[in-house]
Structure 1
């Protein structure tokens, strides 16, 4: 491992040297400034220390170098003048030398030995010093500072999360953390109904330009709700806690999408207002869908069903918010906000051709057009009151959240006649859904003694989800639709859930280098589910669960840190798993939720180590995750060889994982960070009947690299690539994919504005993802293709003079944190609709 790291760093060093040499062409070879950089505490060489030659008058960088393994550096590529030499390295205080004058008589200068002092590193936080700290490592979380990543302009939150260590996001925006999709996603520490209903949809509503940072919490404390087996993701949007007024305009025009955003803020004395809006459209989103399905009949014959369709999608997203803060006095603070969101996505499958053969003899061909509307709008209303005390760290807060998300998931399936010339019949499914939440939360924090903190609180969530669905049929292209009189296809489903919780958490630092955080949480959940027009539902028992959590860390020398953690998590099924609406947009693959699902239980164990090595920050994390009562799809074959999918609590999942993250900073201009993650998955549905029993296992890999280089005259280049390998599932695999992007940006008018050009996936015309389903009677191989090449022009400009002032800028804001709901099983997912999302 050490040899590999040294080789990697040597390659990056060579790049940096070549860049420096490129700037030195045309100068006299005998101009040279040399020296050696040592650690003042132990006189050891500081390899890869950054050395810059700065013009003494203009303060502009003239040349630079990077120290070698022995700490030795040589600067060349400059001319006569007066200069200062600046030396810096992660974890050390920067140093600037006295004035140096280069003349015709003295063209070389030996600075001798330069010693750097180590910076003090706080026990509770280790910061990775990159270009404005793109990645930060803290005791209980990893933070990705998205506002410093210019390649994200024109994207959405799913593009941001693809760059975050330990996270994986597929082409449809579905998020997983270290292989688990059972995660909680928060917005500014709160969860809204849009997130609870469908994380992928919520991420597409949030513009990348509005995101300040992303926090990844792999081992949540007792303060957080018990849901989210994989952990917690907190997306923090940009806020203005400053005095004055500002207006920010950002836009992007591209080949496949455009956006426009306007945000304004006003802060005067104790009160502040924020008003913002952002709209984004997507077009030219073309692709295809292929599916090969083999079904073994009881008599030994094999039926082959093949499908193909061209796909096209159009999208329109918007998000608008109004925020208000008021500092009553030194110890009392109020915040309130209203947020509106909209997401309209229309998908079309043109010419969905289905051929059915028996033992390779063609029996039928059916041609269809499928139009799917996936629409939603949501509103969130937040209120928070915080009271602090003279005693430092003591605080009480009460938070409220009302959230509503309205969903429309409709489709029309038009079937052509035998000659494929005209439409003979149509099927329409209307599915209107509503998800409402009201949450009240109390939190109290008090220091007990020096380095000891006690937190406790209570919370209640009232949730109501409704799905109103109906099927209609019509003859010919213009015939009137008639509702199907069958309660299985036309009904109204109501799901009420009440979660009451209390928690206590204790944090202490001891023996100077150790930190401990432990807690216990208890949650009691009651559920009722009813159908308006039938007795299809069943009794769902109430349940209570104890949720312990333990986090222990030890600070090592030079800011290194080792951590160990254990926690138990609960994953309740979301409406996507529960929804009894039968989605048959693709008649050969239909999906229906199960209202009687129970929650999953997961025990998580992990250990991590963070260190500085040869100019790099490295983090190694290993973990084990054991899930019982896992919600898994169950697939059976119906009449006419239709694959029917529903969900049951019949699975057990185990995952053994390792992730490695590295951040390398070569001088003040060039930095690289990346990660490699892998886990071994074992899945078993626990059934003994050989017709339905299923198990699977295998390794899953993913990785990413981000590079940033600052050029003269306020130019900046950023590059990014992400690759996710094939994922192991209970009954097969889902294919891997990769994305990449390159961005050039130039700042102007004292960095108030910037303009740039970006390109994404410019060498790949079509992305293809290959999925496979294997059961004793079913073999299905499907391919989803999407044209994802994109070119864009970015523009950003800020108007207004701002200054950091007032106690409000130091106020820590609290709010509701609903950790909620296992996602997936959507009736409009790729399997059900032929892969067109």
Structure 2
């Protein structure tokens, strides 16, 4: 099989993506920061009367304080005599710009960007055949008038770029001391419940990357992985709803890319982040050294959290013709310690070659103590009362190792090779003490479940510009995955040794998945400001799986995944976009794991190793515009999913009053909706942003009826969610921020998952030397929350209520030491896998 895979890996080449900005109106509307523009858009380069030659002018635009690059600054090359534009471009998100094919002669260079004083460099002499590097060019901050409102040049909290929405988490005052889930709750289009389960426009079938790279721990369980990433480590979050063909075809709803903070500062730096609160504490230390061609980073971040909850369950089932009622309550106490540690380096082998490498280690130790009280009624007569004290230990560690090589040729032409090895070891065990109605110990129970998730990825990509308004990309990729799960059950009396539980035999799952993929993409821009990105991706998947008894027959399958993105610049500050793509969603470890989770014997879960992938068609139409002091984005979207991987619950055949939940390929889903979000500058120092998501969800599938046969079932309804955030910059380094968000009831095939809301208020004081800050924040300070969910079928009805005590007050402190100057950070390439469902927390 591996031989066949290597052949496919070599031959597969079919798809698109070209995210570079081309002339013809493909710049993001606004100033690149979600703010209105005041300068006219640069003329398309191919419309200029460009003098042709073979020289190049390059440079790096930075803020005069040397603390940051000036992203998307407009660079115009002017004729010395006429002062008319000869050529022009826009700096990238690192401040880097390059003008090519310049004829010999003498020129002036004009650099402009909102919030900065225009910079003109005269006397630029270009010699024939020679390149000219202008080095670092400093722009001085200036306050300008925009409809009588002063706007200064810095990033806003939310940006919209050509192919994605960006939430700049480093600007968020209220999430410091939290984890990645706290950040994602504030990102437009995303919804995150209290357990950390993420949905994008109503679907949890999405892919989460860290710095464009996958991790096996995220593939195993997204919710738990987010708890391992401290909020202080996150620079920004990117949401990609219409991925182009360069991305792996998996992720029905889209891709979330978490970008962590990195230093591009020359010299030695050390940053300390720490905080403490009622529900958690954190400590992070990050150091970096950059000198000459070498850059090294070393960091460690740890977080502890503690919380409690009261969960009640009312559940009625029909078993053997009798009506069984279960009334259950559980006091839960959670304690977790999470860590993430990293070592990385980058080295410039030559002017046009670089290599980067990194090792990331993550650890999770989650402990939950639950005291259950369960009453069972048969035909309204109390049958039994029992108590169950359960200690759950959910432990894991993960290692990700990457080595990446990048070779550049002419501007825009590059070849890269990326490799990734990722492994995670997970342990999910519980110990239970069984007590009778008199609360006397009658027995003990254990479930031991160990999992290993390994992944090797090899990838190569090539991109080549064609002229100034076209680009072609091609690449191939191989992913080799191995998932192993071993589980066993043990029982004992009130005393004595544990022995194997013969009612629940031990089991295992070996699941090997190999994927060969290739893509081809083509991008072109027209003179009338249209930009087209068209391509396709081919993926072939082969699976070998077996349990403790026999092989599991899962046929190989192939998918051809098209992607089309069209954008049109309208006027000076508006962009209209239309996108279509097909996506697939492969099951992840939590969906596959055949271990019976019996921590709560009345609410049991188990995976399904025979799951097949689901297929989704997505279409999106969006309009973004800037006017006066406001930036606004409106999107309409539709999604149709077949062969959907769906949760199905049925009464247990053996346990009185219990319900068993598993996953099946029986779902058909349609979602149509809209989301709107925007930024408003109320004053020069006061911003308001927010948005609303509204969609209609229709689900259809199969479940068992009263006669035991399968029957069609459907559920539908509207779902609404939203968020609002306001930030005020006060004198003398003070800042204040408020946030509020909610998510309405979420439609499921057999019921409704309860909605939730949360809010926070933060205050921060930046030190006069700009090297540190002290903050105070409070979350949900008026009280906790109550989440009510329901499930129903002809055979059972379930109502669960989760009372969460999530009030929190926290103090944070951050400080940076070291002597630093800003230098250009070269572009790097890395692996990104986006093709497996991450698990949810139960």
Q: 1:260 to 1:92 in 2, by over 3 A?
A: closer
Q: Choose from 428, 433, 458 the match for 2:451.
A: 433
Please list, as runs of the form range in 1=range in 2, the aligned pairs for 1:331-370 lying within 5 A after superposition: 331-350=352-371, 352-370=372-390
Distance 2:298 2:676 in 1: 40
Q: Choose from 493, 496, 517 the match for 1:501.
A: 517
| Offset, 1:614 | 4.4
Which residue in 2 is equivalent to 1:16? none
Give the match's secondary structure for 1:150: coil
Q: Deviations over 1:186-228 (max 9, x none)?
A: 1101101111111111111111111111111100001000000
Which residue in 1 is equivalent to 2:75? none
| Offset, 1:512 | 3.4
> Are residues 1:447 and 2:461 paired?
no
Which residue in 2 is equivalent to 1:563? 577
Contact 1:303-1:359 within 8 A present in 2 as well? yes
Q: Deviations over 1:294-349 (max 9, x none)?
A: 123564x5321100011101110111000011001111000000011101000011
Q: 1:116 to 1:343 in 2, by over 3 A?
A: closer
Which residue in 2 is equivalent to 1:666? 682
Distance 2:663 2:267 in 1: 54
Q: 1:242 to 1:39 in 2, by over 3 A?
A: closer
Q: Choose from 221, 231, 234 the match for 1:211.
A: 234
Which residue in 2 is equivalent to 1:621? 635
> Are residues 1:394 and 2:408 paired?
no
| Offset, 1:613 | 3.4
Please list, as runs of the form range in 1=range in 2, the aligned pairs for 1:224-623 lying within 5 A after superposition: 224-283=247-306, 285-297=307-319, 299=321, 301-350=322-371, 352-389=372-409, 391-420=410-439, 422-476=440-494, 478-485=495-502, 489-531=505-547, 533-535=548-550, 537-623=551-637
> Are residues 1:785 and 2:799 paired?
no
Q: Deviations over 1:772-793 (max 9, x none)?
A: 0010121100011111111111
Give the match's secondary structure for 2:282: strand
Q: Deviations over 1:237-282 (max 9, x none)?
A: 1111221110001100111111111000000100010000011111
Distance 1:691 1:130 in 2: 61
Contact 2:591-2:608 within 8 A present in 1 as well? yes
Gap runs ≥5 in structure 2: 1-36, 41-111, 119-143
> Are residues 1:151 and 2:174 paired?
yes
Please list, as runs of the form range in 1=range in 2, the aligned pairs for 1:18-37 lying within 5 A after superposition: none
Distance 1:92 1:286 in 2: 48
Distance 2:364 2:788 in 1: 28
Distance 1:756 1:242 in 2: 25
Distance 1:691 1:783 in 2: 29
Gap runs ≥5 in structure 1: 1-37, 42-89, 97-113, 119-127, 831-837
Give the match's secondary structure for 2:224: helix
Q: 1:359 to 1:691 in 2, by over 3 A?
A: farther
Distance 1:368 1:411 in 2: 12
Q: Choose from 736, 741, 759 the match for 2:755.
A: 736
Give the match's secondary structure for 1:190: coil
Give the match's secondary structure for 1:290: strand
| Offset, 1:39 | 8.6
Give the match's secondary structure for 1:693: strand
Please list, as runs of the form range in 1=range in 2, the aligned pairs for 1:732-771 lying within 5 A after superposition: 732-764=751-783, 766-771=784-789
Q: 1:288 to 1:117 in 2, by over 3 A?
A: closer
Give the match's secondary structure for 2:422: strand
Distance 1:418 1:724 in 2: 40
TM-score normalised per structure 1? 0.82
Give the match's secondary structure for 1:641: coil
Contact 2:344-2:357 within 8 A present in 1 as well? yes
Q: Which structure exhibits the higher relative contact order, with contacts defined as CA atoms closer than 8 Å and separated by 6 or more residues?
A: 2
Contact 2:273-2:814 within 8 A present in 1 as well? yes
Distance 1:634 1:132 in 2: 45
| Offset, 1:749 | 3.6
Contact 1:489-1:582 within 8 A present in 2 as well? no
Q: 1:733 to 1:129 in 2, by over 3 A?
A: farther
Give the match's secondary structure for 2:177: coil
The answer to which of 684-693 and 702-711 deviates more is 684-693
Q: 1:129 to 1:379 in 2, by over 3 A?
A: farther
Contact 2:165-2:238 within 8 A present in 1 as well? yes
> Are residues 1:194 and 2:212 paired?
no
Contact 1:40-1:117 within 8 A present in 2 as well? no
Contact 1:95-1:116 within 8 A present in 2 as well? no
| Offset, 1:132 | 2.5
Q: Deviations over 1:494-535 (max 9, x none)?
A: 10000000001111111331111011100000001112x322
TM-score normalised per structure 2? 0.81
Contact 2:385-2:436 within 8 A present in 1 as well? no
> Are residues 1:814 and 2:829 paired?
yes
Distance 1:372 1:387 in 2: 49
Contact 1:131-1:671 within 8 A present in 2 as well? no
